[in-house]
A = this chain, B = another copy of it.
C-alpha cells in the first residue's frame, strides 16, 4: 500500500489530471467528478485544495505562465538594449506555439464561462495586465538608455503587447495560415524600428 499522499502531491495530481481532461474532453464537458477519478482523489480532498473547477483552470494557467515567465527572464537577461530584448521575446514564439498548440478550444471555453463571472474574469485578465506592465517597463528602459523615442513611451508598450497577442491568437486559430513565428519576429522588428531613435 502506498502511504497517504501529502497536500502538495495531491494538488499536483489534480492539476495534472485537469491538464489531461480539459485538453482531451474540453473544459465544459469535464466535471469535478472526472478530475477526482483521473487524479485518484476523493471529492473531499479535491475541495480541500480547490474551491471549484474554475480555480483549477486558473491554477493551471498560472503554472503555465510561471514557466513562460522564467523563459522570458532567461531570454532577456544580458541583452544589450531594450530593442534587443524585444527581439528576443519575439523569438520565443515558437516555444509558446508548441506548448499552446491545440489548447485554443479549451481557452475559449474557459474565457466564455468566466466572461459571465466578474471575479473569475478579473483573475483571467490579470496576467495580461502583468505582461503589459512588463512591456511598459522594457520601453521605459529603452527611453532611459536613449534608444527609444520618449514621445512613444506611453503607446509603445501596449502596441507591442497587442501585436504579440494578435499573432498568438491568429496562430492558434489558424495554425496553417502563415508562418506565425516569422510574422512575430518580423512584426516586432518593424514595430521596434518604428519606435527607435534615428541614429
Contact = CB atoms under 8 A, between A and B. Distances in A.
Nearest to A124: B173
- Copies of this subunit: 2
Contacts of A190: 152, 155-156, 159, 191, 194-195
Interface stretch (A5-13, A58-66, A164-172): A164-172
A112 B192 CA distance: 34
A104 B115 contact: yes
Contact of A194 (B116, B125, B183, B191): B191
Given A125-B177, A190-B194, 12 more contacts: A125-B173, A129-B177, A154-B186, A155-B186, A155-B189, A162-B162, A162-B167, A163-B191, A164-B166, A165-B165, A165-B166, A166-B166
Interface of A: 26, 28, 104-105, 108-109, 111-112, 115-116, 125, 128-129, 132, 152, 154-156, 158-159, 161-167, 169-170, 173-174, 177-178, 182-183, 186-187, 189-195, 198
